[in-house]
Structure 1
């Protein structure tokens, strides 16, 4: 026969279980949690001096991933990540690799913050990305591009890109006051806000001065719009001008700010520049990165063999 205490316990448990029900977490709540983690991560990489464009790209990709999986980020599985990447199987492997890198970096941060034990991306291998030969312009093609410029601004853009090997974002942010005219140089801030000095050739300074003298504005930006209100030429505006030059030149190779940077690398290598010097001029931390920008031509290999091979 049950004691009074056992009867009371049975009544208590019966009442507890009768009134107990399981509720799924409100979708809005986990969405807010995801936004909080995303904001924390954006602040973290901002403090690590990630470039503004990189932060924007990371935020866009992670938001897209969150909207796809529709679950708390702390409960995402390897299968979720694979399913997301598979949804973009029609894209190039390089694009999918970038998506995986961004998601992986976010989860690596969650692990470091001890919010999860391990990353759901750790078992996913990066897709094989075919090596692309970055091809710069030849001297003849560069001259065609120069002659195809239709304005002082376009010619100055081409000459400054080629002389300084600036990235698009670096040239866009450059001001007139940044230029040391006597030293023929300027200080720019590259990836991760890293500072480096770039140099102007006599030809670049000549065409840049012509362009600056033609301007009727008081804007300090190195390249500005031609219509009022005068303002700094944006990345897209610069790309638009370079594309106009490309169409006029009828050069078959692609022509972009990055191609001009690569042209600087290949023509400098052909002229005998040391790899270490080129590495610093381009602002690379890893020499292997510089080698990707400056593949050795067959002719240069042949000349090097003749010059250095001992009989």
Structure 2
């Protein structure tokens, strides 16, 4: 089997069996492309099924010499392990050469966390007199008030808002849906945007159910939200490295610091486990709702 055919089969597996997003499949493909480049540079032109553990160890040395940092090396190794797991499942190989392959030791760097006062300052920097003001306020309130990923926010649908019972339905990684409690401040901002501002936006065909739209009636991009948040942080005088994920991380941090149960935060964030060794635990909706009401500072 050549590398092109192996990678194509792997892409189909990631899409059909694991239901990964296009971005995730593209990232995995880039990782295996690097291995294919290495294999092609070898004297014997290694095939996907012909690679051994010793070859993979030489590959790690190769990418290290390219100047890749340990975290990037670890991500590539994760892609390789997924690739050979697929090869083994499809009976394309008899043994997994990556099974005993160790990832480089990396230090986990936590993203910056905003204090509650800093989040208030960013929200206060929004000019509500501008047409996009109410929308941008609702965006920040939802990101911080429910801990959503930016991709989950851009795809949020009107039909998945259950504001009367203070929940929203979110589609996360792998198209997995979860119900997330939403606080009073976010609900108020959403209602103002939807009922008073969004009604004046000329909605494009196919975007009728999307909550957050630009002035042309199309859904917002992740890049727009990133740039908008950066600008607001500068206006608020905050010099930290800010991204939409900063609000998600702050959401979780503030809940935990306030005494919230880790499993409840885990469920709200859509993580499968608190750590790689702990079992994923489902919690009832009322407990999740009471947790966010009791511990979230904007409530």
TM-score in same-fold range (> 0.5):
yes
Question: Is 2:120 aligned against 1:131?
Answer: no
1:85 aligns with 2:44: no
Distance 1:222 1:273 in 2: 29
The aligned counterpart of 2:98 is 121
Q: What is the CA-CA distance between 1:132 and the residue it aligns to?
A: 2.1
Alpha-carbon distance in 1 for matches of 2:156, 2:267: 19
Q: SS of 1:287's equivalent?
A: coil
Unaligned stretches of 5+ residues in structure 2: 128-132, 279-299
**1:271 to partner: Cα distance:** 2.1
Match of 1:200 in 2: 182
Matched, 1:282 2:269: yes
> Partners in 1 of 2:31 and 2:23 — Cα distance?
12
Q: d(CA) in 1 for partners of 2:268 and 2:260? A: 11
Summarize the alignment of residues 257-272 of structure 1 with structure 2, pairs less than 5 Å apart. 257-272=244-259
Which residue in the other structure is 1:175 paired with? 157
Q: 1:240 to 1:105 in 2, by over 3 A?
A: same
Distance (Å, rounded) in 1 between the aligned partners of 2:160 and 2:102: 44
- Partner Cα distance (1:64, 1:237) in 2: 31
- Report the counterpart of residue 158 of structure 1 in structure 2: 140
**Separation of aligned partners in 2, 1:59 and 1:221:** 30
Structure having the larger proportion of residues in helix: 1
Matched, 1:234 2:224: no
Deviation beyond 6 Å, 4+ runs, structure 1: none
Question: Which residue of structure 2 lines up, in the alignment, with residue 62 of structure 1?
Answer: 32
Query: What residue is the counterpart of 2:285 in the other structure?
Result: none
Partner SS, residue 275 of structure 2:
helix
Contact 1:180 1:186 in 2 (8 A): yes
Query: 1:43: which partner in 2?
Result: 12
Residue 217 (structure 1) aligned with residue 202 (structure 2) = yes
- Larger displacement relative to structure 2 (170-179 or 59-68): 59-68
Which of residues 56, 78, 84 in structure 2 aligns to 1:101? Answer: 78
Distance change in 2, residues 1:155/1:44 (3 Å)? same
Deviation at 1:87, TM superposition (A): 4.0
How far off its partner does 1:83 sit? 4.1
Q: Is the 8 A contact 2:112 2:242 kept in 1?
A: no
> CA contact under 8 A between 1:239 and 1:257: conserved in structure 2?
yes
Conserved in 1, the CA contact under 8 Å of 2:31 and 2:79? Answer: yes
| 8 A contact 1:154–1:245 mirrored in 2 | no
CA distance in 2 between partners of 1:68 and 1:168 (Å): 35
The CA deviation string for residues 224-246 of structure 1, in whole angstroms up to 9 with x for no partner, is 222x3x31112222222222222
Structure number with larger C-alpha Rg: 1
Could you list the per-position Cα deviations for residues 124-179 of structure 1 after superposition, in whole angstroms to 9, with x for gaps in the alignment? Answer: 31100113234421111111111122422322211010111111221121112221
CA-to-partner distance for each residue in 1:274-301, whole Å, 9 max, x for gaps? 2222221122221237x9xxxxxxxxxx
Provide the secondary structure at the position in 2 that maps to 1:222.
coil
Q: How far does residue 272 in structure 1 lie from its aligned partner after superposition?
A: 1.9
Q: Distance in 2 between matches of 1:106 and 1:250?
A: 46
Report deviation, 1:52. Answer: 3.4
Q: TM-score, normalised by structure 1?
A: 0.75
- Return the offset for 1:117: 2.5
What is the number of equivalent residue pairs in this alignment?
A: 257
d(CA) in 2 for partners of 1:287 and 1:124? 24
Query: Is 1:75 aligned to 2:50, yes or no?
Result: yes
Alignment of 1:245-256 (within 5 A): 245-256=232-243
- Matched residue, 1:273: 260
